[in-house]
A and B are shown apart, each in its own frame.
Chain A
Amino acid sequence: MTNAQNDIAELEKTALGLRRLALKIIFQAGSGHPGGSLSATDLMAALFFGGILRYDSSQPKDPKRDRFLLSKGHASGIYYSVLAKAGFISEADLDDYRKINSGRFLSGHGHPKTPGIEIASGSLGQGLSVAHGIALGSRLSGFDSKVYVILGDGEIQEGQIWEAAMSASKFKTNNLIAIIDFNKVAQDNITKDLKDIEPIGAKWESFGWDVHRIDGHNMAEIIGILRKPVHPEKPRVIIADTIKGKGVSFMEGQTAWHGVAPSKEDYEKALKELE
């Protein structure tokens, strides 16, 4: 199944449904990461259902496909929800999320045993390097595939991110597109107080990247930047200002909702806000 919903309102509706689904499976699992799933939802909805990412879920290993990597792997609640909606797995598979003997290996963090997933995640900082390797490999094979990777804002405190930033610049890997889900909140603290990553745009510019900054919850803006042709030689980074827990008022901007599942009461309250 390939998807191309061009209508912004339709995409927003899709994103709303994905938020409900992600919260549902985290609630069912009794554990997971709602905050970072909700902040990344609009970005992933645009990629998978806005006609950006080139994929065929019945051919998940097609060598000419575009690739998507979720480097901030803890947001698996939204990842699996998107993969189900895109047809890589079924919605029924989601009932196994974070449970033993999961038929599609729906672990707390993604793994390539699940169709649609390229590489294991769970340790922050590795995804940009992996995505870069994929971009180099695709280019070497003569394919025009693009590789999209979503990074967390806290994640870019990892030194390896900056090793990869230097590498992609050196190799002029312009089919690599990093998207930073800049939700301002990490597990321990707000990112700024944990260790400030600003001035974030200047950092990437000085590393030789084509830098763009958008509102990561404005679907028209997201689609607009994702449709922009690649830079002739620079890798691209899209800094998407987002809100942790976006869409559920009592979760928004809260470190407390980084890594806990909602109670039944909170889940029902959240669903009402996501209608």
Chain B
Amino acid sequence: MKDAATRDAYGETLLDIGNNTDIVVLDSGVSDSTRTKKFGQKFPERFFNMGIAEADMICTAAGLATTGKIPFATSFACFLLGRTMDQVLVSVAYSNTNVKLVGTHCGLAVGEDGPSAQMIVDIAYTRAIPNMIVIQPADWEETVQATKALVEHEGPAYFRLGRPKVKAIFDSSYEFEIGKGRVVKKGRDLVIFATGIMVQESLLAMEELSKENINVTLVNMATLKPIDDEIIIEQTLSHGALITAEDHNIIGGLGDAVGQVLLENQISVPFGRIAVKDQFAETGTGPQLFDKYGLSSNHIVQAVKNTINNKR
């Protein structure tokens, strides 16, 4: 357990598992920020800094994968995916190469660098790609386990990581599994499905809510594809009301994924959504942006109350 950014946990895990000589790491000139730099220092022959050339990096990773290597192609989420739709589609997804796309600095949590650096469409985009799985860990422990799980998983994956420090949520007894949601805390009145940094934000909201005797369940949805239908259905039916929480645009993210499962299973209950409301944000600190754009714990508190009211 450690209070740290998920990108830090990723960088440290790469060092730990780096003795596996199949693992290769690529970066596009931002390795100090993405935390791949230490891997490069320890395993220079298996680290490829491709310079500021994301398209080249993605396809080089695909080539490496065809030789049996397990490439982790890492950059800021905005550029890793924003500049490379074609490369990801053809050389990674359609070719079904074993490339791990690791995008750090996701969402509004990035802060002051502004909307051109705040990736809020990546879940929508990667979920829509055949052969691709999508994972966003919530804390240190989960990032460590998920990084290792990605080494074992054969096939293209998108791994969504954050810039700011987040609180430790899970201890070493936690068991991450691709495709599985996990109950973080059990409650009664409503269920929150949250992903990434919003797990922490939801826990803050739940502390406030408990003061008013409102007890909710929190489910961590680290895997965004394949989505865990079972836990969504089971938890929604047992609570009768839900909200989803994500640092991502409201279109195409966790909320849509959960909504789709409910719709397909004829489950209609009060449903609130915490997400960026289809707009570009602005500069400001992460917490300021979370507050102004509706992602912070106070917004979750309000959404929970409103949704529970709709239940009655």
- A residues contacting B by CB (< 8 A) are 63, 111-112, 118-123, 125-127, 129-138, 140-141, 159-160, 163-164, 166-167, 170-171
Bound Cα distance from A132 to B64, whole angstroms: 8
Provide the residues of chain B in CB contact with A135, threshold 8 Å.
Answer: 63
| Any A CB within 8 A of the CB of B17 | no
Report whether A126 and B67 are in contact in the complex, using a CB–CB cutoff of 8 Å: no
Contact with A along B89-106 (1 / 0, CB 8 A): 111001111000000000
| Any A CB within 8 A of the CB of B46 | yes
Given contacts A126-B86, A140-B69, A160-B56, contact A133 B95 (CB under 8 A): no
Most chain B CB neighbours (cut-off 10 Å) among A133, A137, A140? A133
Bound Cα distance from A135 to B67, whole angstroms: 9
Number of chain B interface residues as a range: 20 to 34
Provide the residues of chain A in CB contact with B67, threshold 8 Å.
Answer: 63, 133-134, 137-138, 140-141
Bound Cα distance from A126 to B59, whole angstroms: 6
Contact of A129 among B24, B63, B69 (CB under 8 A): B63
Given contacts A137-B66, A137-B69, A170-B51, contact A132 B90 (CB under 8 A): no
Report whether B55 and A130 are in contact in the complex, using a CB–CB cutoff of 8 Å: no
Bound Cα distance from A140 to B67, whole angstroms: 10
Bound Cα distance from A141 to B60, whole angstroms: 16
Provide the residues of chain B in CB contact with A141, threshold 8 Å.
Answer: 67-68
Report whether A129 and B55 are in contact in the complex, using a CB–CB cutoff of 8 Å: yes
Provide the residues of chain B in CB contact with A122, threshold 8 Å.
Answer: 90
Bound Cα distance from A132 to B69, whole angstroms: 14
| Any A CB within 8 A of the CB of B87 | yes
> Closest residue to B84 on the A side, CB-wise?
A160
| Any A CB within 8 A of the CB of B276 | no
Report whether A130 and B68 are in contact in the complex, using a CB–CB cutoff of 8 Å: no
Report whether B53 and A167 are in contact in the complex, using a CB–CB cutoff of 8 Å: yes
Report whether B48 and A136 are in contact in the complex, using a CB–CB cutoff of 8 Å: yes
Bound Cα distance from A130 to B86, whole angstroms: 13
> Closest residue to B69 on the A side, CB-wise?
A137
> Closest residue to A147 on the B side, CB-wise?
B63
Contact with A along B26-68 (1 / 0, CB 8 A): 0000000000000000000110101101011011111111111
Report whether B60 and A119 are in contact in the complex, using a CB–CB cutoff of 8 Å: no
23 contacts between A and B (CB under 8 A): A121-B90, A122-B90, A126-B55, A126-B91, A129-B60, A129-B62, A130-B59, A130-B62, A130-B63, A130-B91, A131-B63, A133-B64, A136-B48, A137-B64, A137-B67, A140-B24, A140-B45, A141-B68, A160-B55, A160-B87, A163-B51, A167-B53, A167-B56
Provide the residues of chain A in CB contact with B53, threshold 8 Å.
Answer: 160, 163, 166-167
Contact with A along B68-97 (1 / 0, CB 8 A): 110100000000000000110111001111
Report whether A167 and B51 are in contact in the complex, using a CB–CB cutoff of 8 Å: yes
Which 7 pairs between the two chains have the least Cβ-Cβ distance?
A133-B63, A137-B67, A129-B59, A163-B56, A163-B53, A133-B60, A130-B63
Given contacts A120-B91, A126-B86, contact A133 B61 (CB under 8 A): yes
Report whether B63 and A132 are in contact in the complex, using a CB–CB cutoff of 8 Å: yes
Provide the residues of chain B in CB contact with A170, threshold 8 Å.
Answer: 51
Bound Cα distance from A130 to B71, whole angstroms: 13
A120-B95, A133-B67, A137-B68 given. 12 additional CB < 8 A pairs?
A: A119-B66, A120-B90, A129-B56, A130-B66, A132-B63, A134-B63, A136-B64, A137-B63, A160-B55, A160-B87, A163-B51, A170-B51
Bound Cα distance from A120 to B97, whole angstroms: 10
Provide the residues of chain B in CB contact with A167, threshold 8 Å.
Answer: 50-51, 53, 56, 60
Contact of B62 among A119, A140, A160, A171 (CB under 8 A): A119
Report whether B55 and A163 are in contact in the complex, using a CB–CB cutoff of 8 Å: yes
